[in-house]
Structure 1
Amino acid sequence: MTLSSISTPHTTEWKFSQVFGEPAPGEDVQQTDIISAIEFEKGGDYVAVGDHGGRVVIFEKRTPKDDSLEYVTRNELEQNDFMIRHPPNYQYKTEFQSHEPEFDYLKSLEIEEKINKVRWCMSPNGSLFILSTNDRTVKLWKVKESKVKKVKEMDLDPFVASENSLLAEKSFSSIPETTPLSNGVEWADKTFNGAYSSVSHTKVPKFEDSPPARCRKAYAHAHDFNINSISNNSDGETFLSADDFRVNLWNLEISDQCFNIIDMKPPNMEDLTEVITSAEFHPFHCNLLAYSSSRGYIRLVDMRKSAICDQSSRILHDGASNGSKSFFTEIVASISDLKFASNGRHILSRDYMSLKLWDIHMENSPVATYKIHEHLRPKLSDLYNNDALFDKFACCLRGDGLQFATGSYSNQVHIFSHGGGVEDITFEASKNPNRHLSF
């Protein structure tokens, strides 16, 4: 499902725009068809969707031409805040099987094909490149712009020379019963019924569609625990992959070697206190990255200081959470997702109870805290017993960083504005735009 927004100087109105993969009435949703990852291309022209079946589906934006804007003056556009009268429409482009189920015989462990993350790569020549990962292996895919067909099999006339095979037609034949002409060309005897068809092309040329995407690299055998994050670097040459204990740095062109830059695994697992939950590169400083932990810490790392980045440059932590503690305090403080804002100065993080906006220059408290599940606080014990307290929620920011969104239970979407405007817009992700809730 996608939503379109119409902005004015005073408010932002959200309307239903489009839904992807809606099941037909009475159709059962298969487990393999459930979406597990989604990512917009930086320019917004493409959307990549990964599912539990190991597939990646790509949608392409098609914006209908609005003839009514042809004669609109610049002043009118500025007054309307460049309002788009027709929201963009995404149409199916292609899909491919990214991962298959595997079995680790050494550890007797079954590895699912489910796509955990998808990330678009920089494409200087206009080609589409995507990183996708399951629990153990990251793959780099090149998506082809169009289907190229190649000849798979053709049954040529054996009596015609190969260099003249393209000239072989019904009017030419090598049947013995022919009448020679003065120029040396022999015409087929038309009275020889059926003789021509018996030696001419008996098979229609077969064409084979080339695959919609090709795997360029597979980055495997570097993680002993499930991969929870991948992130492209702004240099366009490297990316990181992170699991519960380690963060590895890869070069896109080298698949058999990586550098372990962060290792939080203790020598004795009984001393384990926290794990890595998410990691992401800075949007334009290629030497900076941030990663979050299950204890609610966000650590900023500068790779120029040391090859092993276990010592953080800065640690962001909400000092207000050091007050009264309970059994559930550290569980709900675990950060499930973090995102850098486009300006590179702010970080958005999501834990179970709230959404927090951080300034990387303010280490002791977030700039703003937006409560999501505060009404569930009296029920934490019940949520713990049915494992719902360990559910993970993602977050995202608008391009200008002024609005951000996250999900909740019952198909609810929360949208917040920073620096004025409506504090919290909550609606159900459905086709009915009037199902609008506010808390």
Structure 2
Amino acid sequence: MNGGGEGLAAPATSGAAVSPLEWKFSQVFGERTAGEEVQEVDIISAIEFDRTGEHLATGDRGGRVVLFERTDIKDHGGHRRDLERMDYSISRHPEFRYKTEFQSHEPEFDYLKSLEIEEKINKIRWCQTANGALFLLSTNDKTIKYWKVQEKKIKKVCEMNVDASKSMENGAVASSMSASSKPYLANGACKDRPVSSPSNDTSFPALHLPVVTSQETSLVARCRRVYAHAHDYHINSISNNSDGETFISADDLRINLWNLEISNQSFNIVDVKPANMEDLTEVITSAEFHPTHCNTLAYSSSKGSIRLIDLRQSALCDTHSKLFEEQEAPGSRSFFTEIIASISDIKFAKNGRHILSRDYMTLKLWDINMDSGPVATFQVHEHLRPKLCDLYENDSIFDKFECCLSGDGHRVATGSYSNLFRVFGCSEGSTEATTLEASKNPMRRQVQTPARPSRSLGNLPRVLRRGADNSGADANGNSFDFTTKLLHLAWHPSENSIACAASNSLYMYYA
């Protein structure tokens, strides 16, 4: 695959260049056997690590949420606080195991609009844990749900109300009682004779109260709240606030602010719907809260711009506090310009200083203190530029690839076709640009880009601008498979570990 990183006005992170990582396969869940047909409902549509990295959640098109928990920390007696104090560069082998799953959403039908609502999970976001229970938000196109997952003790009756030592007598008494037509009281005594004490009458055993014990535990997922009927269009994003009390949900034209405890009311904080829908020029594609500033959030648009808004300015944030967009080069406009400029995903860096955005062709890293342009641009699909007509015809050009950043801010990653994903170094002087395949041999199709191309596409060599030829293969001889695409991936919050979805399989890698 052609393309590397493109260094611009300022480095993404300061300090010495970081050496490229060597990625290794860790584990896979739900891997397909050769020739196995994948059911549509089993295709993974969302991935999210919790903030500790000890749990991982996936959602699929069948409306299910599957939870995984980390096991290697417990196995080696480690603790999360100990891991946080360890050096980030130390290579560890994270291992996860299946924890539980639950049905989050069911297919619905909106009778007012004659519209089918899919059960597909669009996004999952972890909330703060409490009392050993896990909390998370999941959403489909219309409805957000707040889930609590905790261990419940299974209660069983361990002693019956019959004395085991007199079981033979009990059987005889029971048979004689069933054969008799005389009415008996609840304690087994007959109305026609006085109640006798068990110690004086051996025909009736001593009565025992049943004893309930809790020995086994089972994970139970319970829906705590349902946030519905607040979006006219499909929900594309949900994001938790750092205050632990509120979250946002975004559709094509509006962003709503919710309180976790209130499900029947939300506040519309962004509304880009014009008075006349014929005047609509752009839609909201993604939105996320700042990781530490509870009053700041960012949202991206189909025109390739990112707006930073401050909730303290006004109740309805129609005006942004900062606008991040890159000016297109003169003479470069084409029919596909706006389509490939649309941002499919944005993520804040852990420190809140940078925003990573993914459009169809590139990854861009933005400094929120510098709105003149991105501080780094990474070419992901430049080799597909000659094929934009074909990609438009088969709708692949509208695929929405996600992006993620490492916890230390040194690297970024995103997916591509043929189940490939790419990892770029974004620290100063880094030339790291690694391509991996979602398989047990991720380095099979590795490509190291020796140097970053120059800033302007117009200055690139003619061969690089042309990208791949029309033979259906890239510069390395690898054929493109547009039916297999790696759209969803997540980076562990504190380690060099990536989880990514290839169809119905969850692959995990570490470096």
Shorter-chain TM-score: which interval? 0.7 to 0.9
Letter paired with 1:121: C
Amino acid at match of 1:278: S
Question: Residue type matched to 1:56 in 2?
Answer: V
* Structure 1 alignment gaps of length 5 or more: 1-7, 70-76, 157-164, 190-195
> Contact between 1:40 and 1:48, CA under 8 Å: does it hold in 2?
yes
1:142 to 144, 148, 155: 148
Q: Aligned residues, how many?
A: 397
Kindly state the Cα deviation for residue 232 of structure 1 after the two structures are TM-superposed: 0.1
> Within 2, Cα distance between the matches of 1:287 and 1:182?
74
Q: Which residue of 2 aligns with 1:186?
A: 201
> Aligned equivalents of 2:292 and 2:116: distance in 1?
38
> Match of 2:255, SS?
strand
Q: Does 1:122 align with 2:128?
A: yes
Residues 66 and 91 (structure 1), Cα distance of their counterparts in 2 relative to 1, 3 Å cut: closer
CA distance in 2, matches of 1:9, 1:389: 33
C-alpha distance 375-167 of structure 1, shift in aligned 2 (>3 A): same
Q: Give 3-state SS (helix, strand or coil) of 1:38's partner.
A: strand
Which residue in 1 is equivalent to 2:432?
A: 423
The equivalent residue for 1:111 is 117
Q: How does 1:3-402 map to 2 (within 5 A)?
A: 10-63=19-72, 81-84=89-92, 87-144=93-150, 146-150=151-155, 167-172=161-166, 175=173, 184-188=199-203, 212-321=220-329, 324-402=332-410
Task: Tell me: CA distance 1:66–1:239, structure 2 relative to 1, closer, same or farther (3 Å).
Answer: closer
Q: Counterparts of 1:57 and 1:65 in 2: how far apart (Å)?
A: 21
Q: Which residue of 2 aligns with 1:193?
A: none
Equivalent residues of 1:171, 1:188 under 8 A apart: no
More relative contact order, 1 or 2 (CA 8 Å, 6+ apart): 2
Q: Secondary structure at the match of 1:129?
A: strand
Q: Which amino acid aligns with 2:164?
A: K
RMSD: 3.2
SS of 1:19 mapped into structure 2? strand
SS in 2 for 1:381: helix
Q: Indicate how the Cα distance of structure 1 residues 185 and 50 shifts in structure 2: closer, same or farther if over 3 A, else same.
A: farther
Change beyond 3 A, Cα 1:62–1:293: same
Gap change, CA 1:182 and 1:94, over 3 Å in 2: closer
* Counterpart Cα distance in 1 of 2:410 and 2:436: 19
For the residues of structure 2 that align with 1:116 and 1:322, how far apart are their CA atoms?
37
The residue matched to 2:120 in structure 1 has which SS? Answer: coil
> What amino acid is the match of 2:114?
S
Is the CA contact (8 Å cut-off) linking 1:412 and 1:427 kept in structure 2? Answer: yes
Q: 1:322 to 1:139 in 2, by over 3 A?
A: farther
- Residue equivalent to 1:160: none
Aligned residue for 1:280, secondary structure, equals strand
User: C-alpha separation between the residues in 2 aligned to 1:295 and 1:320?
Assistant: 11
Give the conservation status (yes or no) of the 8 Å contact 2:20–2:432.
no
**Deviations for 1:209-242, whole angstroms, at most 9, x for unmatched residues?**
9772000000000001000000000000000000
Mind listing any 5+ residue stretches in structure 2 that lack a counterpart? Answer: 1-16, 79-85, 177-187, 189-194, 450-511
Contact between 1:9 and 1:81, CA under 8 Å: does it hold in 2? no
Superposition deviation, residue 24 in structure 1: 4.1
Structure 1 Cα separation of the partners of residues 147 and 74 of structure 2:
32
- Change in Cα spacing, 1:408 to 1:185, as seen in structure 2 (3 Å) is farther
| Superposed displacement of residue 322, structure 1 | 5.8
Q: Aligned equivalents of 2:153 and 2:142: distance in 1?
A: 32
Spell out, residue by residue over 1:28-76, the C-alpha distance to the aligned partner (whole angstroms, 9 max, x if none). Answer: 2111110000100111100000001000000000006788x9xxxxxxx
1:162 paired residue number = none
What are the superposed Cα offsets for residues 145-199 of structure 1, whole Å, 9 maximum, x if unpaired?
A: x243245xx8x9xxxxxxxx85522335673889x9998253359xxxxxx9xxx
Answer whether contact 1:332 1:389 (CA < 8 A) is retained: yes
Distance 1:115 1:185, change over 3 A: farther
Shift of 1:310: 0.8
Identity of aligned residues (%): 62
Q: Deviation per CA, 1:82-105, whole angstroms, max 9, x where unpaired?
A: 333xx1111000000000000000
Structure 1 residues 96 and 418: alpha-carbon distance in aligned structure 2, compared to 1, 3 A threshold: same
Report deviation, 1:432.
1.5
Q: Secondary structure at the match of 1:401?
A: coil
Q: Partners in 1 of 2:196 and 2:165 — Cα distance?
A: 14
8 Å contact from structure 2 (residues 245, 259) kept in 1: yes
User: CA offsets per residue over residues 114-141 of structure 1, 9 Å max, x none?
Assistant: 0000000012433210100000000000
Q: Distance in 1 between matches of 2:117 and 2:298?
A: 28
Give the secondary structure class of the aligned counterpart of 1:284: coil
